[in-house]
Amino acid sequence: MESVESITNVLGHDGPIASHLSGFAPRVEQQHLAEAIFSTLEDTAQLVGEAGTGTGKTFAYLVPAILSGQRIIISTGTRHLQDQLYYSDLPLVNRALSSGVSISLLKGRANYLCKHRLQRAMRHPALLDARYQEHLRAIADWSRSTTTGDIAEVMAVPEDSMVWSFIVSNDEFCSKHEFEDLADCFVHKARKRAQESDIVVVNHHLLCADLALKEQGFGDLLPSANGFVIDEAHQLPDIAAQFFGRKLSSRQLLDLARDTVGEQLHEAPDMRELRDLAQDLETGVRHFRLAFGVEPGRDAWINIKDTSAIERELERLTILLGALSETLEEAASRGKGLESCHKRALVHADSLKRFAENPADGEYVHWYETFRTGFSLNMTPMTVAGPFQRAMEAMTSSWVFTSATLAVGGDFSHFKGQLGLKDTRELQVDSPFDYRHNALLYLPEDLPEPQSSAYTSSIVEKIKPVLKASQGRAFLLFTSYRAMHEAARLLENQVEFPLLIQGQMPKRELIEAFQSIGNAVLLGTSSFWEGVDVRGEALSLVVIDKLPFGSPGDPVMGARIEHMKQAGGNPFFEYQIPQAAIALKQGVGRLIRDVTDSGVLVLCDPRIRSRNYGEVFITSLPPMPITRDLNEVEDFYRRERESHRDEELI
């Protein structure tokens, strides 16, 4: 068994990580976090640990996870981060430690090819178009050589191609395979590898799906483990709410109708009525969407459920789904595909019934969202604290929750309350980056209140001289698409730097363009506040238009606010401010990504100074000098340029 001292040595100047990783710089903060994680795993305890940007928290949990000698499940926020851990970081640490631990990667079922479904898709009437046939041929070629079945390996087929939904593993269809078929099933192989591995890398969606299944008593998706390490843990409460709740979407219903047609052709060609009923359901789905009006939107179900058009089309949709379900019951014995469709129809009918009933018990928020051509009906738990705690208590495991953004003003109460965490250890390690010398916080003077119609035009005027001083190289982060597009229009032909606007191209391509141009100005909304890593001189200015308060008009937030009020709480200070402070920390984290980075952060929202809660936001940020003087901003960039010139001379 390793000791805390040896964990520190591993991450020290003369340790194996330094000898295996060029440019590795030991950090006291990283060592402290690693020590705390190792002790937590050893003691079967719980830890909430915030690690400021640049701490190197990935190695801080990988080293103790490997040296613990235990089976550990590591969960992170996205499939991209999963791949980075599995293919890059874990192998490096494993080699450095000369460890013999086995590792595996496990994703959700929909990330794996199903060979049975691929064969059926080849002759599906919806995929006869030449473009889809080309995609199917590319996937078929790949299927003959892949060892994992992970569709992330396929580069020749666009991510948004319709064919994926026809060929990936599907719980309703694939769970009906005969036992002898499992040897050829990529999901089964991945789960078998996970069962036999010391360290399993998953993502939050799969983790929460597993916890929700355990809560419902329906088995599990993940192997048992001695410890769980949750990276990017600030995302967990919202993701958990998706899985401890329930959702029915137009896509699920249309997929059911489409699959029914395909299975009818294959398993019951004489039952033409199945195809007719499936087409009727498709029509009913479209009519139900139109009952909400043309414009996309989202609201609490209670605010719209009594609308005559909604009532009429909901009743019609219920009848059509019921009719299809009854006929599928008759056809279920004809084959596994139709049996699967029948079970899905029953589940969807139950979801529709539960959603429409909308009991006023305060346990779930019933809300809808409409898109250009689709809709979703959602039941979201008012809180996931209860079910999450029950799921945790059912396992005798250690739990480590870590992220760069968990505390609000040094306090973890908000995050812990969301998940119902009680007896936890806490640790907050600051960023090792020198914010005091390399960063500056600028709070512009004389801006109107954010609700003013002139607000966006006013901040554009304030930031134009800052953009000139920074020579572009800026992220302008907005809390709404409307404000982003208005700012883009106002800046066009007003600044000499290339403008890149979210939506012009895929996110990854936009970031690559930003880095390669070198002096661009990128305008983005929420998706650019988090998970974007631009190091070096290409980014030296981050502007945030408003404090990122969630909209009280959002049905889930609105219901939670009302629920807290009725319980005698203060939702603004207990919920809305902490949520906004954590979101702000994510946005601010884009500025300094490396030890040599420098830049200016501009917070435009005057409420930072005019409201008594402004101090909560300031104290949640890394410590940096604050100014309200544009001259100091210009001096900062002048010193930065002089410093770079001096470095070039050396």
Establish if 192 belongs to a structural domain: no
> What is the per-residue pLDDT for 35?
96
How is residue 113 annotated by DSSP?
B
Instruction: Let me know: does 21 contact 96? Beta carbons within 8 Å.
Output: yes
- CA separation for the pair 223, 219 (Å, rounded): 11
Q: What is the mean pLDDT of residues 530-557?
A: 90
CA dihedral angle for residue 153, residue 159, residue 163, residue 166, rounded to 10 degrees = 70
Which range marks the domain in which residue 413 is found?
Answer: 4-102+197-243+384-429
Q: Are 594 and 27 in contact (CB under 8 A)?
A: no
DSSP H helical ranges for 448-506: 455-470, 481-491
Domain limit, last residue, from 363, 394, 429: 429
The residue-averaged pLDDT of 67-85 equals 92
Give the span between the Cα atoms of 446 and 620, in whole angstroms.
24
Task: Please give the helix or strand (H or E) that residue 72 lies within, else none.
Answer: strand 72-76
Q: Does residue 577 sit in the same domain as residue 623?
A: yes
pLDDT tens-digit map of 395-438: 889 999 999 999 999 999 999 999 999 999 999 999 999 999 99
Do residue 209 and residue 229 come from a single domain?
yes
Sheet with 297-300, strands from edge to edge, namely 246-249, 375-381, 364-370, 297-300
- Burial annotation 289-319 (CB, 10 A radius, 16+ → b, else e): bebbeeeeebbbbeebeeeeebeebbebbbe
In the numeric block, which tokens belong to residue 124? 């599906």
Give the Cβ contact number of residue 526 at 10 Å. Answer: 16
Angle at 294 between CA 293 and CA 297, to 5 degrees: 75
| Among 640, 631, 630, CA closest to 463 | 630
Question: What pLDDT is stored for residue 551 in this prediction?
Answer: 84
Work out whether the CA dihedral 241, 243, 247, 252 comes out positive or negative.
Answer: positive
Least Cα distance to 256 among 278, 224, 234 occurs for 278
- Average pLDDT (116-138) is 89
Whether residue 168 contacts residue 151, with contact meaning beta carbons closer than 8 Å, is answered with: yes
CA nearest to 500, candidates 462, 479, 528? 528
Considering the domain architecture, whether residues 500 and 627 belong to the same structural domain is answered as yes
Q: What is the pLDDT of residue 1?
A: 47
Q: How confident is the model at residue 604 (pLDDT cuts 50, 70, 90)?
A: very high
C-alpha to C-alpha distances, 596 to 593, 623, 641, nearest whole angstrom: 8, 17, 13
One-letter identity of residue 127:
L
Pair 152, 179: CB distance under 8 Å: no
- Give yes or no for a contact between 297 and 370, defined as CB atoms under 8 angstroms apart: yes
Tell me: do 404 and 369 sit in the same domain: no
Angle between helices 308-331 and 272-290 (to 10 degrees): 160
- Residue 72 shares a structural domain with residue 142: no
CA distance 382 to 298: 17
Taking each continuous run of H as one helix and of E as one strand, the counts in the chain are: 29, 18
The single-letter code of the amino acid at 144 is R
* Cα distance between residue 494 and residue 492, in whole Å: 5
For residue range 483-508, list pLDDT tens digits in order: 999 999 999 989 999 999 999 988 88
Reported as a single tens digit per residue, the pLDDT across 423-480 is 999 999 999 999 999 999 999 999 999 999 999 999 999 999 999 999 999 999 999 9
CATH number of residue 404's parent domain: 3.40.50.300
For the chain, how big is the Rg over CA atoms in Å?
A: 27
Count of other CB atoms within 10 angstroms of residue 385: 18
Q: Residue 14 corresponds to which tokens in the numbers above?
A: 């003369």
Residue at 617: amino acid letter: F
Q: Which of 325, 302, 259 has the alpha carbon at shortest distance from 117?
A: 259
330-345 pLDDT per residue, tens: 999 998 889 989 999 9
Q: Is residue 499 part of a domain?
A: yes
- Termini Cα distance of the chain: 48
The string of pLDDT tens digits covering residues 200-254 is 999 999 999 888 887 766 567 788 899 999 999 999 999 999 999 999 999 999 9
Within-domain flag for 292? yes
Cβ-proximal residues to 617 (8 Å cutoff; 6+ apart), any chain: 547, 580, 581, 584, 603, 608
Mean pLDDT of the chain: 91
Q: 232 with 358, same domain?
A: no
In a domain, 160, yes or no: yes
Domain count, the chain: 4
Q: Residue 645's pLDDT band (boundaries 50, 70, 90)?
A: low
370 and 390 fall within a common domain: no
Model confidence at 160, pLDDT cuts 50, 70, 90, reads confident
**Does 646 score more than 80 pLDDT?**
no
- pLDDT score of 97: 93
- Both structure tokens of 10: 């591993």
3 state SS of 379? strand
Do 37 and 60 meet the contact criterion of CB atoms below 8 Å apart?
yes
Asked if residues 436 and 505 have their Cβ atoms less than 8 Å apart, the reply is no
Residue 223 DSSP class? -
Per-residue pLDDT band at 647 (split at 50, 70, 90) = low
| Residue that finishes a domain, picked among 163, 186, 209 | 186
Query: In CATH, what number is assigned to the domain containing residue 274?
Result: 1.10.275
Tokens representing 49 are 């640990």
With a cut of 80, say whether residue 48 has pLDDT above it.
Answer: yes
Pull the structure tokens for residue 168: 């990936």
Is there a single domain that holds both residue 93 and residue 232?
A: yes
Q: What is the DSSP letter of 140?
A: H
Which of 641, 633, 409 is closest to 541 using CA atoms? 633
Q: Which of 120, 10, 132, 119 is nearest to 63 (CA)?
A: 10
Please check whether residue 191 lies inside any domain of the structure: no
Give per-residue pLDDT as tens, 99-111. Answer: 889 999 999 888 9
The CA-atom distances, in angstroms, between 87 and each of 80, 82, 179, 379, 512 are: 11, 8, 31, 37, 22
Domain contains 568: yes
**Is 466 in the same domain as 604?**
yes
Using DSSP's 3-state secondary structure scheme, residue 150 falls into strand
* Separation between Cα atoms, residue 534 and residue 540, nearest integer Å: 10
16, 130: one domain? no
Beta bridge partners of 37: none
- How far, in Å, CA of 560 to CA of 551, rounded? 12
Burial class (CB in 10 A: 0-12, 13-18, 19+), 584: buried
Instruction: Say yes or no: 360 and 446 in one domain.
Output: no
Tell me the residue type at 544: I
How far apart CA 416 and CA 455 sit, in angstroms, is 35
Q: Which of 368, 402, 429 is the last residue of a domain?
A: 429
Percent of the chain with pLDDT over 90: 71
287 vs 283: CA distance, rounded Å: 6
DSSP for residue 622: P
Q: What is the mean pLDDT of residues 596-615?
A: 94
Region 356-378 average pLDDT: 88
- In this prediction, residues 349-362 reach a mean pLDDT of 84
Q: What is the 3-state secondary structure of 403-432?
A: ECCCCECCECHHHHHHHCCCCCEEEEECCC
274 and 320 in a single domain? The answer is yes
